[in-house]
Amino acid sequence: MRGRATRARTAAGLLLAAATLVTGVTLAPGASAAGSAPTGGSHGLIVRTDKGLLHGTNAEGADQYLGIPYAAPPTGALRWAAPQPAARWKGVRQATSYGGRCAQTASGNGPRIDNEDCLYLNVYTPPGQDRQSRHGRGSGLPVLVMIHGGGLTTGAGDQHDGSLIVTTDHIIVVSINYRLGPFGFLDIPGLGKGKSTGSGNYGLLDQAAALRWVQRNIRSFGGNPSKVTIDGESAGGWSMCALLTSPPARGLFRGVIMQSGSCASQSRATAQTASLAFAKAAGCPDQATAAACLRALPEKTLLDASSSYQPLFTYGGPELPVAPASAVASGHYDHLPVLMGTNHNEGRTFAQGFTGFTQAQAAAFITSLYGASAAPAILAHYPWSSYPSPYTAAYQIGDIWTDSGFLTGIGGCPTQNLAAQFASGTRTYFYQFDDLHAPGLNMDHPGYQWGAGHAMELAYLWPSFNNGYSLYDLFTPAQLELSRQMIRYWGAFVKTGRPSVQGQPYWPRYTSGQLMSLRPGDQSQTISAATFSAEHQCSFWNAG
């Protein structure tokens, strides 16, 4: 991506902190409380893993195995260490409730969590799936592994109950937790233990460890380890690009779904500056002793100091030798099938904090972000008069953010450019989520026009994704039809590497110049790359 959008994101530090602080909305809002268990009775499901026996339950039409430890608790001496093997257990471990979420502050994703013992995953299988399929090398069901969003600071695997996908597509679903915020991404000299943690990407190492667990164990659940597809939304979308370009993750999956993601990352110098600023806020201002000082602090103190800390993946170490964006641009990534896309109005989710701005305030804000030389042209392309009241400023700023991909390259023109890069090197399918009346993620501003905002497609795939109330329960019949279509497209991609579903609109590769516009009812259809570009004013944003 070049031009105005690149310059604006560079000037703003490529971080989400500004949007989060202004709006109070984080990436991928909505979740149930940690540790909650699904309803439904157990029917004695027993599965053997490499660490011991598990006893699952049946709920929502699927067999569920919840709260499975895929690595040792990253506590004590294992804080800021690469994930270590989980301990074996004797007897049968109950896998009928979710494991604890990783430490995080309160957000749209849920309440504050004070907990470092959190490296758990969940497995959802069709009811009565033949566990004996593990004996045949070519047998077993395809597997979808979901990596949650939340800006690398919030969220959890329990947001993604895979039961509906499992029962619709007859595949296996896995959702995971990984370390977040300062516990997952600090890069301070002397803090990490071992060569693999030199850049502080502990959360990324957790994701790879969960994928290795899948490789070792998924046959016991009736799955095929050679047919694993990974999916991630928002920060989970960043994770998709990082895992595609990470040497330690090579061979752990065969396809990638990237929802509202990008290849965002930062240099070690930038990461260390932000990490040392966090250390100072936590009461460890001396760089020479910061690592030891931080290790001695309780979890609560570290979490208290993290409100303004915004992590990104850091390149320059063995897990990410080069920036993921550079790796993709140069073709140095795993050339696997990619299904990726964006929501039509990504920025409107984050722009609600501007609902009360006047025209002058909005203009001043855009000038502060994009610079005095660029702002007049931007405001001319997004005139105040073209947006309705009473939330004019929020719509204007939200659309500018969407089209420019201001928030770490998520949305609009940067996403289209990334899709074109992938399409030049691997089989790529591009979509735009176009339900412009999807249920809003909150009710803070009566009458606010969310459009198809960031994270609003999630409930169509994962009914458990909520924001204090069920978004799925608010769907109209037409939206339920779109949900069914999307689940079938995703399932087909997991099974074959192609989102081809009999009886649904044909979804061509992006090299055709066509992408799928996902619309309610039976209205999904292909649109041209030129149409998408015009909708998001990409000739303007891509200008050199």
Nearest 10 degrees: Cα torsion 181, 214, 212, 145:
-40
Longest CA pairwise span in the chain (Å): 68
Q: How far is CA 107 from the centre of its chain?
A: 16
Closest CA to 157 of 201, 97, 218: 97
Is the separation of the CB atoms in 499 and 490 below 8 Å?
yes
Long-range contacts of 192-198 (CB under 8 A, 24+ apart): 192/80, 192/81, 193/80, 193/81, 193/82, 194/81, 194/82, 195/318, 196/82, 196/248, 196/317, 196/318, 196/319, 197/80, 197/81, 197/82, 198/317, 198/318
125 contact partners, CB below 8 Å, separation of at least 6? 62, 63, 64, 65, 141, 166, 172, 221, 222, 223
User: Exposure pattern of 142-176 as b/e (b: 16+ CB <10 Å)?
Assistant: bbbbbbbbbbbbbbbbbbbbbbbbbbebebbbbbb
Q: How sure is the predictor about 44, in pLDDT bands with cuts at 50, 70 and 90?
A: low
Q: Which of 196, 234, 483, 517 is catalytic?
A: 234
Residues paired with residue 54 on neighbouring β-strands, in sequence order: 47, 93
Helix (H) or strand (E) holding 66: strand 62-69
Distance CA 501, CA 100 (A): 37
Q: What is the pLDDT of residue 468?
A: 84
Distance CA 479, CA 341 (A): 18
Distance CA 72, CA 66 (A): 16
Q: What is the pLDDT of residue 29?
A: 30
Whether 234 is catalytic is yes
Q: What is the pLDDT of residue 4?
A: 55
Residue 475: both structure tokens together: 């769907």
pTM above 0.85, yes or no: yes
Closest CA to 287 of 180, 186, 195, 203: 186
Distances in whole angstroms, Cα of residue 275 to Cα of each of 18, 26, 185, 302, 316: 17, 20, 8, 12, 16
| Span 261-287, average pLDDT | 97
Helix (H) or strand (E) holding 22: helix 17-23
Question: How much of the chain exceeds pLDDT 70, in percent?
Answer: 89
Q: Kindly report the length of the chain.
A: 544
The 10s digit of each residue's pLDDT in 94-140 is 999 999 999 999 998 899 999 999 999 999 999 987 664 444 566 89
Distance CA 527, CA 507 (A): 10
The 10s digit of each residue's pLDDT in 487-541 is 999 999 999 999 999 999 999 999 999 999 999 999 999 999 999 999 999 999 9
Distance CA 127, CA 129 (A): 5
The 10s digit of each residue's pLDDT in 243-260 is 999 999 999 999 999 999
pLDDT above 70 (res 149): yes
Distances in whole angstroms, Cα of residue 508 to Cα of each of 10, 421, 499: 34, 16, 9
